[in-house]
Structure 1
């Protein structure tokens, strides 16, 4: 059954700046973490005050906010949890994302009128579990990343029409089943299931024979070693029609730990792809190379469709390194709207750029465009040749109007 309503684009927001970028660049909803109970403890996350500011900003732009509370709770975790949920509800958060049945029960008792979405951490791999969550009061289920399109269609056809399906469509893949992993806890003492994953799946591994300690043997015979757990990144931007036909409603982008540039770039590309598909499927087909080129301008690993079209065959891993592909540098963000009289706008520098270089302006709305940097001024109004200092505020001359939160990017000198 295809969705009767337009797809929701759900974006990550690791802090307030990223939330605002996700909203302005086209997200229909954002998911954020509070200071407790979420699975991204290393993200800056939101205290109640910044969460309230973020919710107001999002709601002013017609965007929903979902808060993660998807840890696997231990007994001490329940202290203060009910009060936290009540505070979150009071500031207008639209839904909680929960994986643990005990946490679910606390939420239903503390905030009975609040929407609950069942996290992918709950291993939602079949329609029976989705039906059970619905009976308990969940409005949405986030399906496991190990499911195929066919399996998701079967779930959609077997659950109530008003229950929504959310699925990851872009970003880093977890090597462990739907993110339930004990490797980090065992190797680094950091519990992935309580938000502190050390990402050991990205490390290089060798074999050691017990009678020969200190003698490391490559797992795969290669002078560069091997990264046996290192998955490629998920990218489904070329498969929007299949996503819609499978009955997926919410398209989730991974990346609360990623940069503002990543969030803006990926969200904007998916926004354009979804809008083009619903306006004119032929236009969407025609622009497929453009969408893929755009998401590739954000730092990424090689792309894969993961489990959507069948079980992985080994080509979904990157065995030679754990680094990212970086085709563009994020060099600056506009801090206030363009001054029509002077042609300048204030920019916060994020990477070095110089007069004479060709850069790209990526506006929140509309197509990106190239321009040459003709003039830069420092905070004293003095003309300078380059912007070498991190987060320095500068005036940059633009050929066209720019707005706050528009971003600047350029190709690194080592990329041809």
Structure 2
């Protein structure tokens, strides 16, 4: 079978913690976004959507040929299922394309009480073999989000034995627990990680202690190490391995991060859109570009690795020991209008910047350029040397044409 016969363009699926992030993700290349509703989601601190916001998001997505999925992936306890049928019916009628669920009770409720709403199995359900995928296909699910512990070899085998759609994570934070099922937060901060309240206890720093044999339990001797200990994994990045995922039949490439900023969402969606388009245009001559990798590092918060795809993670995939210095960029503004005759851009400020700063403009399609802030004016037309106020409106000349929605950042 030839490459051309088996290749299918995968969907780029981006996180959208708010309506603003939803629109940003789609404008920067996402084919679909996943959001949280006002119930049943694992991100209680994200800007979860009201029904009215969902409707606006779905309308915007449809205008741009994109889809909206709703995450309802919490593990339910007794009485948590109350009202789930009504919730699923409402989001179906709004036009949501699918709901992402891990709990079998919620799956059953959705299928029986909201027929017509597609169900995708969440990664929280730990689907790691094709027999499991076949079980869920027979239950009526059309897509399964693979467990993050699945290897690339297993992805290939799964694809050969099932027709269910495959969704796989390609970028973002990795959980230290198996498929995210953790109780550290429950015990340390009384916040249930599996019902949306994770306090990310694994990301905390810990001292190491010895407990000599035979000593009382309350007698500890501090380990004399300068390295603080954490249980924290580095982040995932598959930008250099997209051909493996596409050739092995992954239908949807998922980016983690519903609580991340529009700077993060726009950058990551932009890069993977460019990479996927480049590969699909010419698979035989495709190569990952260094500028794509560099771009992702501009929004990286931790080291990056390939997770479980090619080997079992070692200490090199943990936040322990010497770390690579990550370039720090901050999001400072967005373009809200541009006058091509005067080459003046009107900007909404997001973080402080000053006259003389070196800044970078970027937009969809990997358009970007840098320039120095030579002059800027406030809304009253007064010349200013500093933009200190959040969301203030200002103007500045730009050396290249920009578009509404283009972002601006600067290296710290």
TM-score normalized by structure 1? 0.93
Deviation, structure 1 residue 366? 4.2
Residue 261 (structure 2) pairs with residue 259 (structure 1): yes
* DSSP-derived class of the 1:76 partner: coil
Deviation, structure 1 residue 230? 1.3
Q: 5 Å matches for 1:334-349?
A: 334=335, 336-349=336-349
Alignment size in residue pairs: 405
Residue of structure 1 equivalent to 2:306:
305
Residue of structure 2 equivalent to 1:217:
222
* DSSP-derived class of the 2:150 partner: coil
CA distance in 2 between partners of 1:182 and 1:323 (Å)? 30
8 Å CA contact retained: 1:376, 1:396: yes
Residue of structure 1 equivalent to 2:111:
108
Deviation, structure 1 residue 407? 0.4
Residue of structure 2 equivalent to 1:48:
51
Deviation, structure 1 residue 306? 1.0
Q: 5 Å matches for 1:66-77?
A: 66-77=69-80
Pick one of 236, 239, 261 that aligns with 1:234.
Answer: 236
Q: 5 Å matches for 1:269-348?
A: 269-281=271-283, 284-285=286-287, 287-320=288-321, 325-334=326-335, 336-348=336-348
8 Å CA contact retained: 1:165, 1:248: yes
TM-score normalized by structure 2? 0.94
Deviation, structure 1 residue 345? 2.6
Deviation, structure 1 residue 195? 0.8
Could you say if the C-alpha distance between residues 152 and 184 of structure 1 is closer, same or farther in structure 2, counting changes exceeding 3 Å?
Answer: same
CA distance in 2 between partners of 1:252 and 1:319 (Å)? 26
Q: Which moved more, 1:338-347 or 1:308-317?
A: 338-347
* DSSP-derived class of the 2:337 partner: coil
Deviation, structure 1 residue 79? 1.4
Residue 16 (structure 2) pairs with residue 13 (structure 1): yes
CA distance in 2 between partners of 1:206 and 1:214 (Å)? 15
Residue of structure 1 equivalent to 2:155:
152
* DSSP-derived class of the 1:75 partner: coil
* DSSP-derived class of the 2:34 partner: strand
Pick one of 128, 134, 157 that aligns with 2:137.
Answer: 134
Q: 5 Å matches for 1:182-193?
A: 182-193=183-194
8 Å CA contact retained: 1:299, 1:324: no
* DSSP-derived class of the 1:301 partner: coil
Flag as ranges the 4+ runs of structure 1 deviating above 6 A.
321-324
Aligned CA RMSD, in angstroms, stands at 2.0
Residue of structure 1 equivalent to 2:365:
365
Residue of structure 2 equivalent to 1:355:
355
8 Å CA contact retained: 2:185, 2:200: yes
Residue of structure 1 equivalent to 2:407:
407
Could you say if the C-alpha distance between residues 151 and 49 of structure 1 is closer, same or farther in structure 2, counting changes exceeding 3 Å?
Answer: same
Q: Which moved more, 1:39-48 or 1:351-360?
A: 351-360
* DSSP-derived class of the 1:11 partner: strand
8 Å CA contact retained: 1:230, 1:322: no
Residue of structure 2 equivalent to 1:173:
174
Residue of structure 2 equivalent to 1:37:
40
